[in-house]
Every structure is written in structure tokens, then in C-alpha cells.
Amino acid sequence: MRHRERTLELLDTQSGGDVSRIVVAGVGPLPGDTVLAKARYLQSDGDGLRRLLLSEPYGDPAMSVDLIVEPSHPEAQAGYIIMEAMGYPLYSGSNTICTATALLQSGRIPMREGLQSVVLESPAGLARISARVLDGRVVSITTQGEPAYVAAEGLAVEVPHYGEVRFDLVWSGAYYAMIDAARHGFTLAAAEQIALTAFGDAFVRAARPGLLQEHPELGDVGPLPFAHFMGPVREAGGTADGHVRYESPSATYVHPGVLCRSPTGTGTSARLALMARRGEIREGDELETISPRGSRFIGTVRENAQVGDYPALHSTITGSARLMAHSHITVDLDDPLVDDSDLEHVLSPLDAGNVAHDGEAPPGDARAHGWPRHVIR
């Protein structure tokens, strides 16, 4: 009897301590004319891949997964689908930083010294990226993704064991509930991580019913996935171009049960949109968010935008990522711990080698790494 085995090729990365697993081979072509359509197909018909790589024995719910797919936009060099414990966020700053770094550092997108522009296509649209390369290493990524907007202010919900929790609802690639940490006794120190996770879990469960799930352009985006705890803001000097640099402790909870190690890119973007709405920050100013574990992202206010009827804000997020591992994992579909009910059909057949070759590839070409020609431009 032939064993049902498949192979996935992964690049494991981390940004601010949050691990992103980049799937670069082993998944067959997905139906859909856009990255968003491919993501929605995977969500409805192939969620086994997400569960496999974020669950024991293959992974951990605190990780993220980014699947490289063919882009649909002519400017994009690659597309990527983001998968987390909460499901399929349409955009993520830390995952974008990790994906861009992995594609450059591994040579799948040719890397050049100095500043380099990269365009990736997320399910939400284009992520325009500036990569800084020094001595053959990607030392920082600055990414501009989804414009953020304040969807609702002054909301409140009664949370069992915690009482009334006031929050604002902000879109920045997903919906975030923005919570004043000090109001609930948190300083966002490392010792509070377990308590923050418990609070976030109880809050999201209580807040979800009846809360907005629609985006003006992207349609149904699902129930509330994130809570962002905001610490006090303090002025931390000026920027090189004469603007103000602020900093603030911050923490992002991902439902169910994950407190991010980084302050998160979309959480930082949401914070900028809320501060701008309140007149607390201006174009060109920066906010450095600091997670309970001490990792940092820098958000910069850019120009105003419009999303449907909502005044919105463009911003950029700057952070760095590290490539930690390059691996091939064997997926045993006969293993009782592997739920193959919506998995096998999205994986490449083993006899296809999980990759497509069409002759010798020159150094630096995507095919030299076993990539189908159409995936990377």
C-alpha cells in the first residue's frame, strides 16, 4: 500500500518575535482571478493547510502562515495569502515584512544593495514596500498597505468578570478594537502577558455579537479578530526631517488565545488612524509602538485617503525580519493527527516533485529555487 505523503517547502522567519512560515512550494495552483479570490477559496475549501501548519504536531497557533501565490496585478512581483489562528486577515504588517524579507533574502526576488522597491499583492490589494539592503542582508522593510479608518467611536460592552470595556473600532487591514490599557490596570509589561491574553479572549467573545463585519470595498470580512491595548503616548524627540517622534507601549491580542510578540503593523496603523482622528498626530510624524516583549515597529503618518464614506489615513510601517530556517516537511496524510478532509486536494502530487521545472535556470532566477515561472515576476 502506497503511503499518502506530500512535501511542503517552508521559509521560517520572525519579525519582532512573531514567527511567519512562508510556504514557497508544495501547494498546487488555486482557483481565482485575484489573490483575494484565491484566499477565499482556501478559506472555504482548503482550510486544512492553515490548520496543519498552525497546529500540533506541525506548528503552533502563535505562528502565522503566508502562502506564495501568483499575483493578478501587473505591478506585483508575487502574491501572498495570510493565515493566522483567527483565520485569513486580508493584510498584516508583520507578515508583509516577513514575506518580503524571505523572498529577497532567499533570492526568489533578486536583491540589490541600498534601497529597493518591491510590490506584493495581498488579499486586500497591493503592498508597496521599500527594502533597505546592507552587505547582502535586508536590514529593514517599510511597507504601505491598507488605508486605515475609524469605523466607530465610543463603543462599550459588558465583559463577564471584567465589567464595562470601552473601545473604538478601527479598520487597518482587519477590524481592531482599540482599548485604553490603563483604564483596566495594565501597563503592558512582560509580566502581564497571560492576564492580557485572558482579558482579550473574554472581551472579543463579548464584543463580537452585532459588531460591524463589513468593509465598504471588500465586503464581509468576518467577526472581530483583534484587540489592541494602547499605553500612554510620550514625545520621544524629533525625526530627521523635522517631524515629531512619539512612542507608546502597545499589545495586540489575536483571537483565539494569542498575544503577539511584536506590537503588530496593522495595530500600529490603527493606532495612527485613531490618533489622527483625535488631532494627536500630524502628517510626517512617527509613532514607535513597543510590545510587552520590547520589540518595536515605527509607524509614519502619510496622506489622507477615503474608503467608502469613511475618511481614512495612509501610513507606513517600518520593521525588520530575520530568516530562521529553510525546510522541507513531510505531510503524512495517513497520520491520524492530520485532518485531510480539506487538505489533500490543495497539495501538489508527490510524483510532481511539488515544484515545476522547465530546464536549467540561471542564478537568481526564481526557477533556480524550484519555483513555477508564473509565481514570481
d(CA 119, CA 135): 22
Rounded-to-10 torsion of CA 251, 221, 274, 153: -110
Residue type, 291: S
Per-residue model confidence (pLDDT) at position 218: 92
* Cis bond before residue 256 (omega within 30° of 0): yes
- Angstrom CA distances, 295 to 58, 97, 249, 252, stand at 26, 14, 10, 12
Pairing state of beta strands 322-332 and 148-159? unpaired
What's the confidence (pLDDT) of residue 239?
85
Dist. CA 147–CA 310, nearest whole Å: 10
- pTM of the complete model: 0.91
Residue 184 burial (CB < 10 Å; 0-12/13-18/19+)?
A: middle
Residues 15, 92, 250, 269: which is the catalytic one? Answer: 92
pLDDT at 357: 30
Whether the CB-CB separation of 4 and 344 falls below 8 Å is answered with yes
Q: Give the pLDDT confidence score for residue 362 in this predicted structure.
A: 34
What does the CA dihedral 77, 260, 64, 323 come to, rounded to 10 degrees?
60
In a 3-state reduction of DSSP, which class is residue 341? coil
> Measured between alpha carbons, how far is 187 from 344 in angstroms, rounded to an integer?
46
> pLDDT in tens for each of the 377 residues of the chain?
567 899 999 999 999 999 999 999 999 999 999 999 999 999 999 999 999 999 999 999 999 999 999 999 999 999 999 999 999 999 999 999 999 999 999 999 999 999 999 999 999 999 999 999 999 999 999 999 889 999 999 999 999 999 999 999 999 999 999 999 999 999 999 999 999 999 999 999 999 998 999 999 999 999 999 999 999 999 998 888 899 999 999 999 999 999 999 999 999 999 999 999 999 999 999 999 999 999 999 999 999 999 999 999 999 999 999 999 999 999 999 999 999 999 999 999 865 544 333 333 333 344 334 444 457 77
Determine the pLDDT at residue 349.
80
Is 320 considered catalytic here? no
Can you give the three-state secondary structure of 56-97, one letter per residue? CCCCCCCCEEEEEECCCCCCCCEEEEEEECCECCCCCHHHHH
| Domains of the chain in sequence order | 5-144+323-369 (3.10.310.10), 148-320 (3.10.310.10)
